[in-house]
């Protein structure tokens, strides 16, 4: 839990906290047992931890069983016995002479009558189950190094799983492909076929690549080769002999599918031409492939067709909107075909569009015009929300009064200024803000901002402040205070103050201000308060886009010294979507009166005026408070913490869920 502290002025306590979190709770499981004896179910239930009285057994039906069903064991030693060492002191020797004493006497030999069974002995692969090393988990060597011991190696009833320990390609982990063997040692053969065969419609032993099947061997209707140039005629295939039939249609007369008709045959008449070359291009009319031409010419001993001139054959497919390999498909080896579009959800959970450029989807994640800066910031917790806490405070129960050259440390306040009195001079080493404006007759203007900027997410932000006014005089007090949202400016990162008459709101900056403005002080102690929503870069004399004026006595300044009226504001900002062309910014302001929230001002929502300036999601803003006061009696502004005994809720800025 983080400590949230407020900041107070003459106008009270203000804290700005950005916080989102999510805490999970858990419980503890437990159990309780009962007292009393329980009937044993296994020998370990009866073990008393003693060696010399023998190993107890569980046999509730035995005549010598106790109330738990346990039967005492026989003493392991014929003579003296050492319970501490779990061994017999006499009568327990290494009977088989293998260097290890009997396990019954506390030794490690699992069979003290067999000199070929002892710990550390080399395990031998045998089908008899002989345990040479007294370890039932070792079965024998793994000769082919595939991680499995031969199924001929056993220890008791447990045997290895490798059905061929001389071939590393045979083990239970291997896929059992074609070949007639049992590669995965499951007793079945070729259950994972991995050969491709091709549909053979005419049954001539040659198929075409348009229909395939995975099998071990070609079943009826399929062939192992895909080189048939006419799968409708059994007489035409790569294994057929060329027939000198004088035909001109390559799909009918190229009997051996080599792209040439009647090769080796004479021709007639001299000068005649015929098509040759890539017959698929002629048959389907698709692709870059093109047939050539042959001419009947006179040769020694007769006539013959010339070579195939002008033919273009298939090549490897490239991204060029052409069927380079002449298989009837264009750019089929790539992600997509140039110019294609697709829609889907991007990383921020919103629908986006991608386009195929150079046979690659661009952008691959449907991000449209968004960048990492407008999406990645929205989740640094893995829970779909921003989890950042920023606190602003000037310390507990402290007070700062700002006169000439009396500038707080920049570690305490981000920005402060006074329009009529310069706060920075040659004798001042610390300056929080330049003296940027002067208003004649004004008393003071002050401001304080979060030291770190805040990125507003897609779902928006709610900020709330409760201010307690410390009235330390009996004279009228005018003007008021406001909450400001200012767009960060890389060229001028410190938000500037405006004039006292503008309540210190920094005009000329991009942003908005929610103001509580009091005026027309009355002798009765009531005051007409105005809650206003203002554009900071608006033109004209009145930049207020929406306001409400209410007579709200619980919030007004009183004429009694020491009074502490409270003012409570809440504003909800729904930012503009940066990827659309319209300004969707909405701001709704409420104030609390008699414990109830009242709508005070709004823009961009429910028929309210347009907000003008677009507060965009993903952009970086400063949150802050500004104040102004006009008084003839006290020429300073006081920022201080609340030292009253009353505990006020901490004002806060809550960044809500940013990504779906």
Q: Which of 13-27, 137-151, 258-272, 439-453 has the lowest mean pLDDT?
A: 13-27
**What pLDDT sits at residue 281?**
46
**Per-residue pLDDT at 366 exceeds 50:** yes
**Per-residue pLDDT at 206 exceeds 90:** yes
| Chain mean pLDDT for the chain | 67
**Per-residue pLDDT at 359 exceeds 70:** yes
**Cβ atoms within 10 Å, residue 374:** 20
Architecture of the structural domain at 399-655: Sandwich (2.60)
**Per-residue pLDDT at 574 exceeds 80:** yes
**What pLDDT sits at residue 190?**
78
**Per-residue pLDDT at 67 exceeds 80:** yes
**Per-residue pLDDT at 381 exceeds 70:** no
Q: Which two tokens stand for residue 493?
A: 């990162």
**Per-residue pLDDT at 198 exceeds 80:** yes
**Residue bearing the bigger pLDDT, 517 or 16:** 517
**What pLDDT sits at residue 368?**
52
**What pLDDT sits at residue 400?**
34
Helices assigned H by DSSP within 353-443: 372-375
Q: Domain-by-domain residue ranges, the chain? A: 129-160, 341-378, 399-655
Q: Which of 123-137, 288-302, 628-642 has the lowest mean pLDDT?
A: 628-642
**What pLDDT sits at residue 387?**
36
What gap in Å lies between CA 358 and CA 416, rounded to an integer? 55
**Per-residue pLDDT at 631 exceeds 50:** no
Share of the chain above pLDDT 90, in %: 4
What gap in Å lies between CA 522 and CA 519, rounded to an integer? 9
- Let me know: does 461 contact 388? Beta carbons within 8 Å: no
Q: If you average pLDDT over residues 213-229, what whole number do you get?
A: 88
What gap in Å lies between CA 337 and CA 318, rounded to an integer? 11
**What pLDDT sits at residue 383?**
37
State the pLDDT confidence band at 147, using cuts at 50, 70 and 90.
Answer: confident
Q: Is 0.75 surpassed by the pTM of this model?
A: no
User: Vertex 543, ends 541 and 545: CA angle to 5°?
Assistant: 135
**Residue bearing the bigger pLDDT, 204 or 373:** 204
State the pLDDT confidence band at 28, using cuts at 50, 70 and 90.
Answer: very low
**Residue bearing the bigger pLDDT, 302 or 537:** 302
Q: If you average pLDDT over residues 451-456, what whole number do you get?
A: 62
**What pLDDT sits at residue 348?**
58
Q: If you average pLDDT over residues 140-153, what whole number do you get?
A: 86
**Per-residue pLDDT at 405 exceeds 50:** no
**Per-residue pLDDT at 271 exceeds 50:** yes
What are the tens digits of pLDDT across the range 274-289?
887 765 444 445 567 7
Q: Which of 105-109, 156-160, 380-384, 527-531 has the lowest mean pLDDT?
A: 380-384
**Per-residue pLDDT at 467 exceeds 60:** no
Q: How many CA atoms lie within 13 A of 109 on its CB side?
A: 20
Q: If you average pLDDT over residues 163-180, what whole number do you get?
A: 83
Cis link prior to 363 (omega < 30° from 0)? yes
Contacts of 112 (CB under 8 A, 6+ apart): 94, 95, 96, 100, 101, 102, 103, 104
What gap in Å lies between CA 633 and CA 473, rounded to an integer? 8
Strands (E), 166-259: 195-199, 208-215, 222-223
**Residue bearing the bigger pLDDT, 569 or 587:** 587
**What pLDDT sits at residue 558?**
44
**What pLDDT sits at residue 397?**
35
**Per-residue pLDDT at 334 exceeds 90:** yes
**What pLDDT sits at residue 5?**
27
- Let me know: does 118 contact 100? Beta carbons within 8 Å: yes
State the pLDDT confidence band at 408, using cuts at 50, 70 and 90.
Answer: very low
Would you call 534 exposed, middle or buried from its count of C-beta atoms within 10 A (0-12, 13-18, 19+)? buried
**Residue bearing the bigger pLDDT, 375 or 516:** 516
**Residue bearing the bigger pLDDT, 488 or 154:** 154
Q: Which of 105-114, 178-187, 439-448 has the lowest mean pLDDT?
A: 439-448
**Per-residue pLDDT at 553 exceeds 50:** no
- Pick from 233, 624, 291: nearest CA to 463: 624
- Pick from 638, 498, 469, 656: nearest CA to 568: 469
- Let me know: does 530 contact 517? Beta carbons within 8 Å: yes
Strand 454-455 and strand 638-640: pairing?
Answer: unpaired
**What pLDDT sits at residue 92?**
65
**What pLDDT sits at residue 327?**
76
Q: Bridge-partner residues for 212, per DSSP? A: 198
State the pLDDT confidence band at 223, using cuts at 50, 70 and 90.
Answer: very high
What gap in Å lies between CA 223 and CA 201, rounded to an integer? 9
**What pLDDT sits at residue 70?**
92
**What pLDDT sits at residue 74?**
84
């Amino acid at each position: 839990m983080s400590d949230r502290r407020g900041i107070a002025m003459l106008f009270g306590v203000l804290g700005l906290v950005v916080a989102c979190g999510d805490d999970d709770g858990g419980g503890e499981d437990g159990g309780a047992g009962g007292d009393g004896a329980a009937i044993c179910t296994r020998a370990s239930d009866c073990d008393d931890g003693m060696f010399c009285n023998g190993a107890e057994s569980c046999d509730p039906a035995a005549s010598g069983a106790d109330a738990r069903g346990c039967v005492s064991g026989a003493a392991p030693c014929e003579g003296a016995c050492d319970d501490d060492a779990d061994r017999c002191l006499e009568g327990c020797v290494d009977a088989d002479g293998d260097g290890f004493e009997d396990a019954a006497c506390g030794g490690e030999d699992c069979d003290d009558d067999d000199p070929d069974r002892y710990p550390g002995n080399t395990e031998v692969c045998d089908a008899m189950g002989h345990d040479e090393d007294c370890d039932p988990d070792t079965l024998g060597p793994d000769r082919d190094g595939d991680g499995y011991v031969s199924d001929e190696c056993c220890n008791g009833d447990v045997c290895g799983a490798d059905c061929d320990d001389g071939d590393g390609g045979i083990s239970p982990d291997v896929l059992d492909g074609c070949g007639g063997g049992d590669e995965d040692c499951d007793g079945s053969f070729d259950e994972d076929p991995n050969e491709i065969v091709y549909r053979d419609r005419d049954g001539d032993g040659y198929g075409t690549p348009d229909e395939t099947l995975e099998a071990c061997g070609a079943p009826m209707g399929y062939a192992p080769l895909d080189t048939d140039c006419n799968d409708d005629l059994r007489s035409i295939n790569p294994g057929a002999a060329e027939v000198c039939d004088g035909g001109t249609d390559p799909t009918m007369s190229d009997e051996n599918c080599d792209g040439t008709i009647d090769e080796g045959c004479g021709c007639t008449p001299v000068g005649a031409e015929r098509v040759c070359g890539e017959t698929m291009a002629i048959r389907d009319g698709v692709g870059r492939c093109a047939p050539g031409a042959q001419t009947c010419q006179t040769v020694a001993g007769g006539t013959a067709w010339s070579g195939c001139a002008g033919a273009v054959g298939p090549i490897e497919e490239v991204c060029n909107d052409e069927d380079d390999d002449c298989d009837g498909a264009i750019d089929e080896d790539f992600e997509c075909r140039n110019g294609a579009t697709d829609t889907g959800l991007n990383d921020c959970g919103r629908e986006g569009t991608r386009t195929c450029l150079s046979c690659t989807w661009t952008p691959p994640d449907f991000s449209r015009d968004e960048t990492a800066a407008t999406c990645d910031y929205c989740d640094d917790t893995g829970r779909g929300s921003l989890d950042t806490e920023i606190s602003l405070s000037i310390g507990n129960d402290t007070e700062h009064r700002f006169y000439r050259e009396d500038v707080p440390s920049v570690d305490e306040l981000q920005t402060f200024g006074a329009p009529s009195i310069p706060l920075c001079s040659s004798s001042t080493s610390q300056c929080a803000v330049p003296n940027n404006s002067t208003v004649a007759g004004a008393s003071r203007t002050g401001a304080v901002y979060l030291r770190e900027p805040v990125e507003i997410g897609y779902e928006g932000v709610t900020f709330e402040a409760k201010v307690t006014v410390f009235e330390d005089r009996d004279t009228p007090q005018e003007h008021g205070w406001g909450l400001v949202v200012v767009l960060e400016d890389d060229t001028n990162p410190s938000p500037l103050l405006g004039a006292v008459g503008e309540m210190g709101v920094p005009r000329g900056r991009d942003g908005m201000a929610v103001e509580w403005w009091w005026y027309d002080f009355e002798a009765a102690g009531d005051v007409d308060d105005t809650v206003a929503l203002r554009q900071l870069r608006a033109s004209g004399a009145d930049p207020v886009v929406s306001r409400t004026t209410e007579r709200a006595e619980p919030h007004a300044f009183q004429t009694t010294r020491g009074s502490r009226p409270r003012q409570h504001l809440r504003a909800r900002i729904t930012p503009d979507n940066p990827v659309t062309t319209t300004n969707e910014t909405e701001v709704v302001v409420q104030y609390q009166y008699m414990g109830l929230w009242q709508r005070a001002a709004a823009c961009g929502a429910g028929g309210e005026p347009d907000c003008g300036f677009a507060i965009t999601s993903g952009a970086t803003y400063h949150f802050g408070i500004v104040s102004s006061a006009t008084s003839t009696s006290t020429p300073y502004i006081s920022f201080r913490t609340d030292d009253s005994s009353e505990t006020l809720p901490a004002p806060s800025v809550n960044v809500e869920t940013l990504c779906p």
